[in-house]
Structure 1
């Protein structure tokens, strides 16, 4: 029997519903249950693929090529369960589905309305493919009170009635602010948030209360009394320095015990949290530290590179060191000649993905600095392309080398491929007239590694599979000229048409990848490229 836990948020956004959901999933796994996590997003975009990182943060890509909310990254990192297209839905996608059905005549001439047609479509999404899982955790994005969230809240209200208490539970995450001037915690925002939720027919069985410090017993009982929950079901969620301590913290507060008690399941045995304690120990007590400079376009909002930052931390865990990140705006490198000197004190340089010409020259300057100064360099997606263009200009002498993403050029070292193969030989095609959201190469693709290459040694394999999200590709026609000048094409698509990895043969560690390895990194299984990159940074730190 599959049980559903619906997780809502109130008072303010960005309280950490995704981390709370992921932590609960991890705790249930530690007790031997199978879990699946899903996210309902109330915005009208069909998916976050065309949204600015400053608006939405990182776009997380699944194995099957879905562009999803960054919370799915938390789900995967904490539970190891691979997400897919069915695990994230938006208002836009729901309405698109309903309108397509209406146009086909599926509703037999009925007047299409939010209730029941939109809410029924939401319920279909929640229930689809959940067979065989003990628990499905469903996070509702946004904040209770938002007009956009109402259809989703109505849908889970209906499901709660249809499934019954034995199969459904409502958890509400709120804020208990501390007013420093008064020296008091205030429970009123939580009371109002629950009142708002109850006004639409949902009574939460548990409250998870975000706070700077602990909540005294008196305040917990007050919250329980006014919100109609048991005091034991008021769970504290104080701020913590290390997100990977969250499962341990939530277990100490009784989160998993209360969930099991609600479903009348045995909660007497302790969950096995040994691996979480090990991760906490590694993060809390490193043997040293390295500094990595990230030269990107969206550094004003670190959530734009959420998986990247976590993958670097995983690389630090693998090497038992703390990774300090210095966020560097690539545009500054274009306007300030002396800005590149800020890379003097970093132990490694990472240039991440991005779209558009803004900041591109700055990324090339960072790649050139790493190449000439023998500093470990990791170029991901756009960061690989900029490194290849820089090498074509500086090493091969192609002064007009560029990417057609910025317009026509004499030497299109990077350009738009019109056809490629998926695993199994299936062909995919695109044209310049496709919708913006339909021109990307998305999801898992295979890659063959060159025997004797650095990446083959790092992976310990000749065949790998990684997740992609990009439009433009390095032009294979320039391979011979670049390899003659030391840039090895060490990873190719199985048909040999698409360069996936480049590396410099005469450099301590200089690797560019077309894919996004950060999406597959886990705290318990750091991605081999990030583990190796941080190892190179450790060696570099000893040379300084």
Structure 2
């Protein structure tokens, strides 16, 4: 039966529970264990799909079409295991399902309560779909003491009793702050946090202590004494020079050893960490560097483009090049050609990412035109591909009023809302006035590539599957006009109705994709399009 590791956080938010879970999963995987990582989110939204990126960061999409927390991206990038809908649950989804059951009469007239109904639903989620696994790591979102997270903490308390202590381990992340005026680290916040979660019936077995300075042995022993753990189970977590150094750092601090010791597993094989040492060798010893401009809408919060940021780093790893990213607000390029040139000329590559709404789109279109005319490597993703098509329609195909129906009524809907499409499950239909999120094409879809295209050369195949998250599609009726303007449709849906990839053969590297390739990139397996984009940027850097 699978063993469970529950990851909680205290003192403050943003201590890195997601990276801890991902890194621990990678370390156990490196020892030969089969691992799955799950996220319990306490907020009342059913999923993060309708949240502003400024509220919650990016929405991470799985192959099976779930809109999930961005931490699932960390899990995938560190373990290489594709996440599923069953790996993320929210309070909103739990309550929605319970209320639907109550309305149907499934509870046979019983009074529906947090205990046992809500906690049972949480436990059912944790225990589902775990056949063949050695470990299930469950990250509990929020901070211990929050009202929202109490049902989840109660559920894991019950699970520890249900499964037995040999089957469950609790890892608690805390903060050991450095007080500059006093010139010392303070352990009291950790003591209080452990006391808080212990009072709820969950006594931590291992403590991960985030800190700016090394924790002296005397302070580790003090924490251990007050928090009822061995000194060796007090793991310090200093800031790392790269997130991909975190698994190595945590292993060196003994995290995986302590977790296995808590499970009374003493004969586990040593981990094979060669993939992580290779990644860090590439991080520490680049042979070149490039600057990529990301012309986007949500550039004020890097987490809004978390997977994109990491995929660019991975492209750099594939080319042994350090990637500098310049986050550029698309709005500042609208009607200002001088500013456009000043900001974009120093770049070795231009990327226009996805987004929703009209704000900043004219600046994105201007950026596409700059990349096309100046022969700067260009990568358009989702809305970025649509902007490339509108730019080509306006400036090369003679369709001056080309636009998207997402931005309002237009006589030339080069991009429009799609309400029907084919998937592996058959014909999909959505109502134009349906719920937000309900009208989108979500999850993995197949595409077929032209054999002589740049895209096919990058992938090394003509059959691909990529993840989507969008409502609008490039209108196939404009295909001939756009191709006359030099924009080739090199990737199409299997039925030939939905454009998936466009490119310009007369350009060093100009590719737009309707899907989100960044979601499938890994540090040890960079996505081929990002590897190709950075390779083109490296060539560009040698020309400047």
TM-score range relative to shorter protein = over 0.9
- Give the Cα–Cα distance (whole angstroms) in 2 for the partners of residues 335 and 126 of structure 1: 52
Contact kept in structure 2, 1:401 and 1:413, CA below 8 Å: yes
Corresponding position of 1:172: 172
1:336-351 matched pairs, under 5 angstroms: 336-340=336-340, 341-351=342-352
Secondary structure at 1:437 match in 2: coil
Counterpart in the other structure of 1:245: 245
2:432 is paired with a residue whose SS is coil
- Structure-2 separation of matches of 1:122 and 1:422: 31
Tell me what 1:393 maps to: 394
Cα distance, 1:264 vs. partner?
Answer: 1.3
Matches within 5 A, 1:373-388: 373-388=374-389
Correspondence 1:283-362 to 2 at 5 A: 283-334=283-334, 336-340=336-340, 341-362=342-363
**Which secondary structure state, in structure 2, belongs to the residue aligned with residue 412 of structure 1?**
strand
Aligned mates of 1:67, 1:213 — CA distance in 2: 37
Q: Is residue 450–residue 462 contact of structure 1 (8 Å, CA) maintained in 2? A: yes
For 1:124 and 1:186, the matched residues in 2 are separated by 39
Match of 1:76, SS state, is: helix
What is the aligned partner in structure 2 of residue 433 from structure 1? 433
**Post-superposition shift, 1:181?**
1.6
Does 50-59 or 173-182 show the bigger shift? 173-182
**1:447 match:** 447
Tell whether the 8 Å contact from 1:213 to 1:239 is kept in structure 2 after alignment. Answer: no
Where 1:213 maps in the other structure, the secondary structure is coil
CA distance in 2, matches of 1:469, 1:268: 41
Q: Say which SS state the counterpart of residue 112 (structure 1) adopts.
A: coil
* C-alpha contact 1:389 1:402 (8 A) present in aligned 2: yes
Corresponding residue of 1:263 = 263
Deviation per residue, 1:191-228 (Å, 9 max, x gap): 11111101111110110001113211111111111111
Instruction: Give me the whole-angstrom Cα distance separating, in 2, the residues matched to 1:339 and 1:386.
Output: 20
Q: Indicate the residue corresponding to 1:478 in structure 2.
A: 478
The question of whether the paired residues in 2 share the 8 Å contact of 1:488 and 1:503 is answered with yes
CA distance in 1, matches of 2:445, 2:424: 6
Q: 2:423, 2:326 → 1: CA distance?
A: 37
Q: d(CA) in 2 for partners of 1:321 and 1:482?
A: 35
1:409-468 deviation line (CA, Å, top 9, x unaligned): 0100000111101125x1101121210120110000000101211111111111100000
3-state DSSP class of the match of 2:148? helix
1:371–1:507 contact (8 Å) kept in structure 2: yes
1:485 deviation in Å?
1.2
2:13 paired residue number: 13
TM, length-normalised to structure 1 = 0.99
Which consecutive segments of 4 or more residues in structure 1 shift more than 4 A? none
- What corresponds to 2:113 in structure 1? 113
Cα pair 1:468 1:515 within 8 Å, conserved:
yes
CA distance in 2, matches of 1:254, 1:188: 23
Q: Unpaired segments of 5 or more residues in structure 1? A: none
Report the alpha carbon displacement of residue 123 of structure 1 after superposing the two structures with TM.
0.4
Question: Do residues 131 (structure 1) and 155 (structure 2) align?
Answer: no
Match of 2:2 in 1: 2
Give the conservation status (yes or no) of the 8 Å contact 1:63–1:82.
yes
Alpha-carbon shift at residue 270 of structure 1 (Å): 2.2
Deviations 1:17-69 (A, max 9, x none): 01000000011011110000000000000000000000000100000000000
CA distance in 2, matches of 1:351, 1:273: 35
> C-alpha distance in 2, partners of 1:358/1:94?
35
Measured in 1, the distance between the counterparts of 2:335 and 2:226 equals 57
Q: What's the CA shift for 1:6?
A: 0.2
Deviation at 1:338, TM superposition (A): 2.7
In the alignment, which residue of structure 2 is the partner of 1:423? 424
Q: What is the DSSP-based 3-state SS (H/G/I as helix, E as strand, rest coil) of the residue aligned with 2:437?
A: helix
Deviation at 1:268, TM superposition (A): 6.3
Equivalent positions of 1:448-467 (< 5 A) are 448-467=448-467
CA distance in 2, matches of 1:212, 1:335: 45
Contact preservation (8 Å) 1:313, 1:322: yes
SS at match of 1:148: coil
Q: Would you say the 8 A contact 2:419–2:439 is kept in 1?
A: no
**SS of residue matched to 1:328:** strand
1:121-270 correspondence runs (5 A): 121-267=121-267, 269-270=269-270
CA contact (8 A) 1:77 1:521 kept: yes
Quote how far apart the aligned CAs of 1:269 are: 3.9
* 2:87 corresponds to 1:94: no
| TM-fit CA distance, 1:314 | 0.6
SS of residue in 1 equivalent to 2:323: strand
Q: How far off its partner does 1:14 sit? A: 0.9
Shift of 1:179: 1.1
C-alpha distance in 2, partners of 1:337/1:119? 58
| Cα deviation, residue 339, structure 1 | 2.2
8 Å Cα contact 1:260/1:267 also seen in 2 = no
Aligned pair count? 543
**Partner SS, residue 293 of structure 1:** strand
8 Å CA contact 2:31–2:268 kept in 1: the answer is no
State the Cα deviation string for residues 147-176 of structure 1 (Å, max 9, x = none). 100111110111011111110111100111
